[in-house]
């Protein structure tokens, strides 16, 4: 069976231009779909406005239609509505607030799926600061300047260079915390950072980040029959 993992759609953001690609993915040959957080962006506008938007609402309606025949699991992100609203919006979707453990007994793999914001201390402890900074980022991005993405990529590149490692390696503090926390798992799959990557490691776990659909158009697929994990789509570095 094929699994699809997508994160950080940020439905409601005017920066999201990939609705057609998202719909094609959702309707693909996947038996299980994981929505790995920040699917609906309530930092942009009220949740009901997003649900009733003709374009964003189409994605939401498609998820609900597919949930009648497919297993869809929603991991809440820091931009998503609260769990009560998510359960109201997605009545047939399994909505979770923290993580999902995928045990593949036939091939011995144990996969944990999280959004990842719980490892970001600024978001976790000082969310009000993040929301104060958000309007500044919002203004810059409307002019086409992805300040946060640029800073993350710059920091990642500097950190990688310092450690003499490649770009697609574990160099960020948040990534190091995640792999340390879940070292008894085969894979950890997350979103949040908007930095798509798949790092196969000899020691557990291998690290996978779905990326996003604002600054990149990336997703992850997993075939439970073959054990193949793939990062797919377009990375815009």
Question: Tell me: the pLDDT tens digits for 30-49?
Answer: 999 999 999 999 988 899 99
Identify the domain containing residue 39 by its residue range: 2-115+184-234
Please tell me the total number of residues recorded for the chain in this structure. 237
Task: Residue 101: count other Cβ atoms within 10 Å of its Cβ.
Answer: 10
Q: Residue 12 in 3-state DSSP? A: coil
CB neighbours of residue 171 within 10 Å: 20
Which residues, at least 6 apart from 102, have a Cβ–Cβ distance to it below 8 Å? 3, 109, 110, 111, 112, 113
In a domain, 176, yes or no: no
146 burial level (CB within 10 Å; 0-12, 13-18, 19+): middle
What are 87-112's pLDDT values in tens digits? Answer: 999 999 999 998 999 987 667 889 99
Query: What pTM value is reported for the model?
Result: 0.85
Looking at the domain assignment, is residue 216 inside a domain? yes
CATH, residue 111 = 3.60.21.10
For residue 13, give the DSSP letter. Answer: -
Whether 30 maps to a domain, the answer reads: yes
Q: Could you give the number of structural domains in the chain?
A: 1
């Amino acid at each position: 069976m094929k699994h699809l993992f997508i994160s950080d759609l940020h439905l409601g953001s005017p920066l999201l231009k990939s609705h057609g690609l998202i719909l094609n993915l959702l309707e693909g040959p996947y038996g299980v779909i994981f929505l790995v957080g920040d699917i609906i962006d309530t930092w942009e506008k009220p949740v009901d406005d997003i649900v009733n938007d003709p374009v964003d609402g189409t994605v939401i309606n498609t998820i609900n239609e597919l949930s009648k025949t497919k297993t869809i699991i929603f991991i809440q992100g820091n931009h998503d509505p609260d769990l009560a609203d998510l359960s109201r919006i997605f009545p047939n979707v399994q909505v979770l607030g923290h993580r999902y453990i995928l045990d593949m007994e036939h091939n011995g793999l144990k996969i944990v799926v999280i959004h990842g914001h719980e490892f970001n201390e600024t978001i976790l402890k000082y969310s009000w600061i993040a929301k104060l900074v958000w309007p500044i980022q919002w203004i810059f991005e409307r002019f086409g300047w992805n300040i946060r993405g640029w800073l993350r990529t710059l920091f990642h590149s500097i950190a990688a260079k310092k450690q003499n490692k490649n770009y697609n390696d574990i160099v960020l503090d948040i990534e190091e915390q995640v792999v340390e926390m879940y070292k008894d798992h085969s894979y950890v799959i997350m979103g949040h950072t908007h930095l798509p990557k798949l790092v196969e490691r000899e020691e557990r776990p291998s690290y996978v980040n779905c990326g996003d659909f604002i600054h990149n158009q990336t997703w992850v697929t997993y075939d439970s029959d073959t054990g193949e994990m793939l990062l797919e789509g377009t990375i815009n570095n």
